Structure formats: C-alpha cells, structure tokens
Amino acid sequence: MNVSPLESQVLASESEAAPAPRVPRVKISKLTKRYERRGVLRSIDLELYPGERVALLGANGAGKTTLLRILATLSRPTSGTVSIAGHLTHKAAQAVRAQVGVVAHQPYLYEDLTAEENLRFFARMYSVADERSRIDEILFMVGLIARRGDRVGTFSRGMQQRLAIGRAILHKPALLLLDEPDSGLDREGARALERILGYQRTTEGTVLMTTHDLRFGLSAADRVLLLENGKIVLDAPAPTLDEDELDERLSRR
Amino acid sequence: MRDGLGKISIIVWKDLLTEIRTKELLGGMFIFAVLTIITFNFAFDMTGTGKAASGAGAMWVAFNFAGFLGLGRSISLERDKGSFDGLLLCPVDRGTIFLGKFIGNLLFITLVEVISVPIFAALFDLDVFQPLLILALFLGTLGFAAVGTLLAVMAASTRSREVLLPVLMFPILLPVVIASVRATTLILTRQTNDLSAWLNLLGAYDVLFLAISYAVFDRVVEE
Amino acid sequence: MIVRRKSGWQSSLGLGLGLVTAITMAIGLYLGLVWAPEDAIQGNAQRIFYIHVPMAWVAFLAFGVVFLAAILYLWQRSLIWDQIARSSAEIGLVFTTLVLVTGSFWGRPIWGTWWTWDARLTTTLLLWFIFLGYFMIRAYAGDRGRAATYSAVIGIIGFFDVPIIYLSVDWWRTLHPQAVISVTSANMPGQMVVALMVCLLAFTLFYLYLMVQKLGIERTKDRLIDYQYALSEREAEGVTTA
C-alpha cells in the first residue's frame, strides 16, 4: 500500500486516538492434553481478560478440571502454550504460580494445624507482604476470625471451604480458579464467595470457575464457556444465554 | 537464597507441628525400633566379644525399618489428602520443597535414634557416649533420608507403595548400611584406625545422593 | 492413516548384525571352549569363564546405556530415550541373571560353594535388584510418562550406586578377612587372552543385535498407543462436527 508521509502521519495519530486493545490476562494457544490413549483437551484457543468473571460449563469428563489444573501449573500441556499475566507456564512457572489462586474440591488445608497456622504457612510460601495484617484481613473476609485458633480438622465442610477460599486469595492473585465453588458452601460461605468475587473484580482480577449449577453460573459470571469433548463449543456473554436451552445442550451429551 | 531458607524452614515447621499434634509417626517408629532390638537380642549373641558388632547391626536395622515406616507414612498421608498439590501450587522451587521434606524426615528419624540409642546402650551395655558416634549416626541417617525422601515421593503415587519403597531403597542403601554399621562397630569398640575411610565413604555418598535427589525432584513431581 | 511395514533399513540392519554376531560368536566359542589351553588349576571347568565374563560385561554395558538414556529422557522428554532405556534394561536384567547363575555353577566345583559374599558377586546381585526395582516401579507407576520418569530416576541413582556398592563391600571384606577367591590366575597365557577378547566382542555384538530387535518391539508398542490415540481423536472429531 503506497502511503504518502503526510497520510501515514494522519493514520498514526488516528490509531493513537482509538482505544488500545485489551491485553488478555490469560492467553491459551492451541492447548492439547493427551493421556496416552485418549485426548482430553483438543487444541483450545482462549483469551481471558482482567476483571472478567468466566463460568466454565461442561459435562463430567469434558476436561474442565484438566484445563484448570493446567492453568494452575499442576499439569503440563501435551502441546500448545499458556500464558498468564505475561508469563509462559513452561518458561516461568514460579512467576505464574505467584499470580494464580486455586479453590478446588480438596481444601488444600492441613487439618492438624489451626486456621491461622494454615494461613501463616501459605503466606510464607507465597511470600505475602505484611503477613500478619493480611491474615487478619482474610480471616475477617471469610468470617472465621472467631475460629482462628481452632484446628481445621474440627471445621465443618462449609468452614473449610471458606478458609480454602481465603487461602486462595492470600497473595492477591491476578487469576482466581475455582473448581465448583458453589458445592459444599454454607450460607456464610456463599456470602464470602460473593464478597471475594466482587473484590477480584475491583482489583481487575480474573475469575474462572467451573460449575454444574447453571443458575449459579449464569448469575455469577459475565461470560460463559461450554467445554464439550475437549473443545470450547460456546463462548458467549451470560445475559444472552437461556438457562433451559443450555441445560438441554448439556444433558444431550 | 534467604527466601529459600525461609521457605524450607516453614515446611519443616509445618511437618514438625503436625507431628507434635498427632504423634502419629514418631510413636510407631519408636516402638518399631525397640521391638526390632528386642528381637535381635534373641536372634544374636548380644553378650561377650561380638556384642559391639551385633549391637551396631541391630541398631541400624532398627533405624532403617523405623525409617521406612516414617518415610512411607508421612508422604502417603500428604498425597492422599491432596495436600501435596497444595504444596505444588506455591511459587516455590521444587528443590526447595524437597529440602524441606528431607530435613523434616531427617529430624524425625534422628529423634527416634536419640531416644533409642541410650536405651540400647543400657540394655546391652554398649559404650555409646562418644561424639564420634553422633557423627556416624548423622552421616548414616542423612544418606538414608535423602534417598528415602525422593523414593518415598515416587512410591507414594503408585499402587503397592508399602512394598515398593523398601524394595527400591534396599539396593541403593546397601553402601550406607555397610558403612554405618562398620563405623558404629569401630566406634563402640574404640578401634578408630580404619574409621575415617568409612566416614569418608558416608560423607561422599551423602553429598552425591543429596545432590542427585535435589536435581531430579522437579521431574519426579511433574505431571 | 497408512500402517507401514517395518522399514527396510531396520530389518537389513538386524539381519546383517545377526549374521556378524553369529559368526563372531561361533569363532569365539570355539576359541574359548576348544582352542584355548586348559587351565592349570581349575581344569576344563574354567572354560565357563569365556561366557561368564563377557556376559558380566554386557550386563554392566547395558546398565551404562540405561544410565545415559535415562539422563537424556529426563532432560529431553522424548520417548525414544525411554524406549532405549527400557530395552537395554530388559537385556541387562536377563544377562545379570545369567551371570549370577553361571557364576554359581562355576563356583561350585572350584570353590566348593554356590555363593560367596565377595565384592564382585555381591555387586552383581545388587545390580540385579536395581534392575528389578526399575521394572517394578514401571509396573506400578500407572501411566507411561510416570513409568518412564520414575524408572529413569532409578537408572541414574542405581548407576552411581553400583561402584559405591563395590567399594563398600570390598572394604568390608578386606577389613574383615574372608576366604580369598581368585577369579582368574595371575598371568593369563596369550591364547586365553585372545579367546577372551573375541568372546567379549561376540557378546557385545550380541547385545547390539538384541537391542535392535528389542527396540523395534518397544517402538511398535508405543506406536500402537499413538494409533489408538489418533483413532479416538478421529471419533471425537466425528462427534463434534455431527
């Protein structure tokens, strides 16, 4: 294209005026995961942005947990790349881990330690600044200040989930991964979760959560992904989706 | 570096605290060690001139068996509950995690030894109160703990882990067993002329296998 | 997807190697079992030496290959290194067993005992256990990647361990005098050396021949898994586009 110097100057200043494209917080490129004889994830391309709340739906065995584990750097991709907060998982795994928080089915808590001791352990492991005040903040956020000196083994499942959520955001992660966070939560926990999701939003944190509960997914998220047979077959804003249609699609497979 | 040391110590702190609260491991390990020694008393001649050699052998067999028990259990518990994944999620160098686990295991086995040795000494009238003995115990246990921590993590993610761990460890540990027993016997009988050779062997083994275990741990916990 | 026949160069290599091995082996065995002079002290029973020593050499050579392949696998993560490692390990295990057995049969008429805890024998026995550990962990590891990684670790640790085992047992014996066993007489007549050299060469070629065969089998096993994967991917494609 032949452009005169004057024209190119005009073009340049015009593009400057246009808003800069959003930089993705998470960039997944051709991600494939294979377990010997069967494939679980099949060349997935996906971008997640700061401040987004994304729900990941799919039948059991569709690959949701595998995807989460790869993002959490607990599992290596068979091929493809994953970059989180500007770091590639296969090159800068430590840097990635410092930016990711995970709430999974297992609470990742030590039952023989108290709530406070658990948080102290992870605060040290994540090199959290201002350890003491941050721990107090977290305990307050999840409503466990009163039980801080009690062993986690004595907690109910709901309380353990709450502490697990607190543990996950101890280091203010840029990406929060939640594997079925709505299961096992008591009312206090649901409130704590809502609080934390709100907090992530205000700090431009990204949230990716898997869930079986469609209503929860549609209400809690702005964007919905549907994972089917290892591929993302649906990627749409939550308000545009109809719960019943989605339910039917999910139960079809 | 400082940060790494901090993380190692918090891992050790966590394991120690858990053990103090539950006493799951140490109690079992200790009883195991004592029962082994008692059995040895009836199996071998623990009086007279041979007692130092038999005593040294009995001690190390007891500590090794107790060690297998401790290693296997501590890692299995963590793996089964999924807490090990929680550890791997942290932005911590895998080698650092290894060192934390290794020092924890080393402390547990050492604790069992510290309590057991005076008991053995009393039961069999062995001359144990020598600083050299502490050195021999330390070097022998270090090698055991280094290789043991690595292999225990590997075995813990397989079926039949209780059988697998000793089978894997036995050939690898043989030089440590030979060297530790010989060194201990020499110390107990106060014949220190060949002692340095054995202690050097233990030291070299320890450095070599600690380094190897540290280096490969990253790949071992990878999925 | 086309299922290829075994590629041409592999079977020619195997054939050629097999032929050379067979010839060298025939010559070597003749030299050792017939041509070489009878041992002054041990008589004809000594001739098992020409098989026993080369087999021990192969056992340790195989282990060395396992060690190198293991390091390369841990570093590169390509399956070919694991295929080489597990092929060599299997051959090594077989030869180690044979060494122990032939050594035992040799020892009985000479020393009057089936076994003795000297450094060489003990190290070979421990090597056998390390190989065993190698395969046990593969069997229990679950998936292919883990089996390869874990057994590679065993291969590396074991390799460093073997000389230390030898040293420690040797010292234990010298500081703890036991019956002295000599494996070979002090000076071997030239003809014996020649026979031994040829046998060593023959058995090394034999190892290479077995490796080529075994590697072919292991590669085919892995390729089979790859085909199964490709097939399941095809099916999945069909389902999604349907």
Query: Mind listing the pLDDT tens digit for each residue in A89-107?
Result: 999 999 999 999 999 988 8
- Residue A162 or C1, more confident: A162
- Residue C92 or C8, more confident: C92
Lowest mean per-residue pLDDT among A7-11, B148-152, C136-140 = A7-11
- 8 Å CB contact between B172 and C161: yes
Q: Which residue has the tokens 């709530």?
A: A115
- 8 Å CB contact between A217 and A224: yes
Q: Of the candidates B65, B59, B70, which has an alpha carbon nearest to the alpha carbon of residue B184?
A: B59
pLDDT of amino acid C58: 96
What rounded mean pLDDT belongs to chain C? Answer: 87
- Residue A178 or C237, more confident: A178
B218 has a pLDDT exceeding 90: yes
Contacts 24+ apart (CB under 8 A), A214-222: A214/A57, A214/A243, A214/A246, A214/A247, A214/A250, A215/A243, A216/A182, A217/A55, A217/A57, A218/A55, A218/A243, A218/A246, A220/A53, A220/A55, A221/A53, A221/A54, A221/A55, A222/A52, A222/A53, A222/A54
pLDDT in tens, A185-231: 888 888 888 888 888 888 888 999 998 888 888 888 999 999 988 89
Q: Of the candidates C170, C96, C211, C129, which has an alpha carbon nearest to the alpha carbon of residue B169?
A: C129
| Residues in chain A closer than 8 A to C236 (CB atoms) | 39, 42, 229-230
pLDDT in tens, C57-109: 999 999 999 999 999 999 999 999 999 999 999 999 999 999 999 888 888 87
| Residues in chain C closer than 8 A to A35 (CB atoms) | 143
Name the residue facing C225 among A37, A39, A233 (closest C-beta).
A37
- Residue C183 or C187, more confident: C187
- 8 Å CB contact between B179 and B201: yes
Any A CB within 8 A of C78 CB: no
pLDDT of amino acid C12: 84
Sheet with strand A87-88: strands edge to edge: A38-48, A26-35, A79-84, A87-88
pLDDT of amino acid C115: 85
Top residue of A33, A34, A37 to mutate, by most chain C CBs within 10 Å, is: A37
pLDDT of amino acid A8: 58
Lowest mean per-residue pLDDT among A120-134, A224-238, B72-86 = B72-86
Q: Which residues pair with A28 in a beta bridge?
A: A46, A82
pLDDT of amino acid A10: 58
Contact A230 C232 (CB under 8 A): no
What's the token pair of residue B182? 């010989």
pLDDT in tens, C21-70: 999 999 888 888 888 888 777 777 778 888 999 999 999 999 999 999 99
pLDDT of amino acid A124: 95
pLDDT of amino acid C182: 54
Q: Which residues pair with A225 in a beta bridge?
A: A56, A235
For chain B, which chains pass the contact test of at least 3 CB pairs under 8 Å? A, C
pLDDT of amino acid C1: 46
Top residue of C143, C224, C229 to mutate, by most chain A CBs within 10 Å, is: C229
Contact A229 C240 (CB under 8 A): yes
- Amino acid at site B110: T
B190 has a pLDDT exceeding 60: yes
Confidence of residue B145 (pLDDT cuts 50, 70, 90): very high
Contacts 24+ apart (CB under 8 A), C234-240: C236/A39, C236/A42, C236/A229, C236/A230, C239/A229, C240/A228, C240/A229, C240/A231, C240/A233
Coil, helix or strand at residue B80: helix
Element (H, E) at A231: strand A231-237
pLDDT of amino acid A214: 84
pLDDT of amino acid A248: 78
pLDDT of amino acid B43: 81
* Mean local confidence (pLDDT), A113-139: 95
Q: Distance from C236 to chain A by nearest Cα, in Å?
A: 7
Neighbours of C75 (CB within 10 A): 11
- 8 Å CB contact between A76 and A90: yes
C184 has a pLDDT exceeding 60: no
A223-228/A53-57 β-pairing? parallel
A87 has a pLDDT exceeding 80: yes
A2 has a pLDDT exceeding 80: no
* Mean local confidence (pLDDT), C220-226: 94
- Per domain, the residue ranges of chain C are 51-179+186-224
- Residue C106 or C241, more confident: C106
* Mean local confidence (pLDDT), B164-179: 92
pLDDT of amino acid A17: 54
pLDDT of amino acid C4: 54
| Residues in chain B closer than 8 A to A75 (CB atoms) | 223
Confidence of residue A149 (pLDDT cuts 50, 70, 90): very high
Lowest mean per-residue pLDDT among A224-233, B90-99, C212-221 = A224-233
Lowest mean per-residue pLDDT among A139-143, B34-38, B89-93, C131-135 = B34-38
